[in-house]
Amino acid sequence: MSRAAIFLDRDGVLNHLVHNPATGRMESPLTPADVRLIDGVVPALRRLQHAGYPLILVSNQPNYALGKSTLDALNAIHARLITELLHAGIRFRRFCYCLHHPKGVVPGYSGLCVCRKPSPWFLLRARDDFGFSLSHCWMIGDQPTDTQCGRAAGVRTIRLDSGAPVQVRPTSPAADHLVWRLPEAADIILRHRPCR
Residues annotated catalytic, as ranges: 9, 11
Half-sphere exposure of 55 (CA within 13 A, CB side): 24
Longest dimension (CA), the chain: 51
Residue type for position 91: R
Is-cis flag, bond preceding 165, omega within 30?
no
Burial class (CB in 10 A: 0-12, 13-18, 19+), 188: middle
d(CA 141, CA 188): 14
Report the distance separating Cα 64 and Cα 79, nearest Å: 16
- Count of Cβ atoms closer than 10 Å to residue 19 Cβ: 12
Give the separation between CA 73 and CA 64, rounded to whole angstroms. Answer: 9
